[in-house]
Amino acid sequence: MKTPEFPIFLPDATHGAVRSVSSSDLIEAKVEGVVVNTYHLADNEQRAKLDRTGGIKNMMDFQGFVASDSGGWQLFSLIHRRGKKEHITDEGVVFDSDEGKKVIFTPEKSVQTQFSIRPDMMICLDDFTPPEADSKRVRESVERTILWAKKSKEEYLRILDEQGIDERKKPLLLAVIQGGTDKELRKYCAQALIDIGFDAYGFGGYVVDENKGLDMEISEYVAELIPDDTIKFALGTGKPYDIVRLSDMGWDIFDCTLPTRDARHQRLYTFGNKPAGHKDLINPDIFQFLYIGKQIFKEDNRPIDELCDCYTCTNHTRAQLHNYFKTKDSMALRLATIHNLRHYTKLIEYLREYKHGSN
């Protein structure tokens, strides 16, 4: 088990790969870790492949920090799209697959799959609290999340014992704190999970404020519920400016599909100025972006961001990238993704250098 330096940003490697880039591109962009999706790796064929190769790091040829999610998010999205919420039970998740048969995904199955993935950090299956949930549903999701975390921990300990994995090599186990905007339930959930005991705790559910931004009050409240000697993972959050604010609250790990997805949609990040201290990072104006497809970049021979040291900015101009997108050259997605990932890892470097509380 490998503990990374914090804070850290983990891009999303959905099918065991970050879309459009190779593992050497990830290293070049100074990406230190990724999140892989358990749901896509849970079928027998994928698990057999993982067991054969010795885990996802070997499959990806990437030796950085790897966290595996529980698979819950994909399952709940699937259920939500099909309107079959009733298929979540205390036992696990029951749903109709594309073949029409019912499949049960349980907290235990999630842990078993994650042992095949062999990540540095595993995440317990939780009952995601939907943003529109009424108080009864919020309470239910909290109770079920605690129950599933308990079952996950038991299965985790059982497999550690069965496989003879010692203390130094065991993966970290994270439990997710649910409860929506209800502070009492968040506190109750956090305390129950702390009583069971985990290496890390995650911020569950995407809670938005009246401006549709991340609810910073709840984010800060939940951060304070988690003991400082454990790892705090702000699951699924990752707009650059949000990362700064969440990091100041004590959150250690961020993951988000945004930089890679935005890259594919021609939205590229830049720093307005080179930050000279923490006070520059908490100025939202420093976080800018451009749409490389716009005509104004057709003959722009500058790099995407003159402050960026990534492979793309070192070797290609805005005009070239504009043209690659226009002609649908596959280079476009790769170069744009490399740049956006480097923007995030650079932000993380600034956060490590300019600590909260300094100038």
Instruction: Give 169-222 as a 3 state SS string.
Output: CCCEEEEEECCCCCHHHHHHHHHHHHHHCCCEEEECCCCECCCCCECHHHHHHH
Q: Is 308 in the site for Zn ion (CB under 5 A)?
A: yes
Binding part of the chain for Zn ion, among 115-123, 130-138, 324-332, 334-342 by CB under 5 A, reads 334-342
Q: Which stretch binds Zn ion (CB under 5 A): 70-78, 223-231, 249-257, 309-317?
A: 309-317
DSSP 19: T
Does 57 contact Zn ion by CB under 5 A? no
Strand partners for 102: 96
Between 15 and 302, CB nearer to Zn ion: 302
**Going by C-beta distance under 8 Å and a sequence separation of 6 or more, which residues neighbour residue 201?**
174, 175, 176, 177, 190, 193, 194, 226, 230, 231, 232, 233
Q: Which of 255, 262, 280, 305 is catalytic?
A: 255
Residue 297 CB, nearest distance to Zn ion (Å)? 14
> Which one, 72 or 259, has the nearer CB to Zn ion?
259
Give the residue with the Cβ less far from Zn ion, 214 or 243.
Answer: 243
Residue closer to Zn ion by CB (options 105, 271) is 271
175 binds Zn ion (CB under 5 A): no
The correct pick among 125, 207, 313, 332 for binding Zn ion (CB under 5 A) is 313
* Whether 280 is catalytic: no
Q: How many CB atoms lie within 10 A of CB 130?
A: 16
Interface map 258-297 toward Zn ion (x if CB under 5 A):
----------------------------------------
| Among the listed residues 177, 310, 333, 348, the single contact to Zn ion using CB under 5 A | 310
Do 304 and 268 meet the contact criterion of CB atoms below 8 Å apart?
Answer: yes
Given 25, 69, 127, 215, the catalytic residue:
69
CB 310, min distance to Zn ion, A: 3
Pull the structure tokens for residue 272: 């307005």
Cα 333–chain centre separation: 21
Choose one: 167-175, 220-228, 303-311, 346-354; the region binding Zn ion (CB under 5 A).
303-311
- Per rule CB under 5 A, is residue 336 in the interface with Zn ion? no
Interface with Zn ion (CB under 5 A), residue from 118, 151, 322, 339: 339
User: What tokens were used for 299?
Assistant: 């003959």
- Return the range that interacts with Zn ion (CB under 5 A); candidates 60-68, 108-116, 126-134, 311-319: 311-319
Nearer to Zn ion, 6 or 311 (CB): 311
Pairing of strands 172-177, 121-123: parallel
Sequence-ordered list of residues with C-beta below 8 angstroms from that of 102, at least 6 positions apart, any chain? 94, 95, 96
Shortest reach from residue 301's CB to Zn ion, in Å: 15
**Please, which residue, 123 or 310, has the CB nearer to Zn ion?**
310
CB of 339 to Zn ion, least distance (A): 4
Identity at 181, one-letter amino acid code: T
Pairing of strands 231-234, 200-203: parallel
Give DSSP secondary structure letters for 89-139.
-SS-EEEE-TTS-EEEE-HHHHHHHHHHH--SEEE-------TT--HHHHH
Q: Smallest gap, in angstroms, from Cβ of residue 345 to Zn ion?
A: 11
Inter-residue contact 79 to 85 (CB < 8 Å)? yes
Shortest distance in whole angstroms from residue 270 CB to Zn ion: 9
- The Cα 211–Cα 189 span in angstroms is 27
255 is known as an active-site residue: yes
Q: How many residues bind Zn ion (CB under 5 A)?
A: 5
What is the closest distance, in whole angstroms, from the C-beta atom of residue 225 to Zn ion in the complex? 37
Please report whether residue 149 would count as binding Zn ion according to CB under 5 A. no
Residue 61, both tokens: 């040829």
| Residues belonging to the active site | 69, 255
Binding site for Zn ion (CB under 5 A): 308, 310, 312-313, 339
